[in-house]
A = this chain, B = another copy of it.
Amino acid sequence: MQSTAAATATIANTVNPAREARLAIRRGAHNTHTGGVAPGHVQANMVILPAEYAQEFQTYCMLNPKPCPLLAISDPGDPSLPTLGEDIDVRTDLSGYRVFEDGEEIDVASDITEYWRDDLVAFPLGCSLSFEEALVQHGVPLYHRERGGRPATYVTNIETTPAGRFHGRIVVSMRAMSPADAIRAVQITTRFPSVHGAPVHIGHPEAIGIEDLDYQQFGGSPPQMRQYDIPVFWACGVTPQIVVETVKPSFCITHLAGRMLVTDLKNTELAIL
């Protein structure tokens, strides 16, 4: 580890900040959220399941691309994800994991090497940090970022399309913005289907089963709304976590909230237009 970091540091032109971040996380030097880490690089939510669930979950993601935008899929037992980055090891390269047995959380860990099995399949999923970067770069203010928090998050009454044992309701994140910015936000996020894509709803929270915008089931802060703001709702990567807790697979590992896999991909590479 030591020699690799040194070798990388001496070749300034070829430094890969995403790989640097993964190595820092791997050796415990970075042990918190990954927001703001390796700016411009795609970060991924993570779901890890035994092979017996893999095909069903893959189909579930395919049928529900907005909440579950699959960026890659590992071979069973193989902790690498070569299409997402050099030398990725999904057992060590996230700073926090949740480990579930039969839908119950049995551990929160910063390394899952001890839980690894030769039948586990890793599903890295696109994350809203990517489209938020695009929004900010296009001049759309995000209030929660200005406050240093997370976007407000809600369970909706919108059912995902089930696949095998996987089913559940879409969880959404909400960002309030001016009407003009809401129009821009639809345009900008449409370009990024692999990181949740266009909003799933605008304007009327109650139309998708949200009775109270201030109630934060997942512990975030109530949203800020200014006069004439429109609430804009995107499908959220929390969806598959809730699904896993509902479906209760025999074994499952997910990322811990805010602690994503930092990949070598650039957010700009994900734009389809």
Contacts and interface: CB of A to CB of B under 8 A. Distances in A.
Contacts of A199: 183
Interface string A121-136: 0000000000000000
Interface stretch (A30-38, A84-92, A201-209, A242-250): A201-209
A179 interface: yes
A214 to B, nearest CB: 20
A203 B201 contact: no
B198 A179 contact: no
Contact of A179 (B179, B180, B202): B202
Interface string A173-192: 00000011011001100100
Interface of A is mostly: mixed
Contact of A273 (B182, B203, B207, B273): B273
Interface in A227-251: 227-228, 230
B187 A198 contact: yes
A271 interface: no
A204 B179 contact: yes
B202 A228 contact: no
A140 interface: no
A235 to B, nearest CB: 12
20 contacts: A179-B201, A179-B202, A179-B204, A179-B207, A180-B200, A180-B201, A182-B202, A183-B186, A183-B198, A183-B200, A183-B202, A186-B186, A186-B187, A187-B190, A187-B198, A202-B203, A203-B228, A203-B230, A204-B230, A273-B273
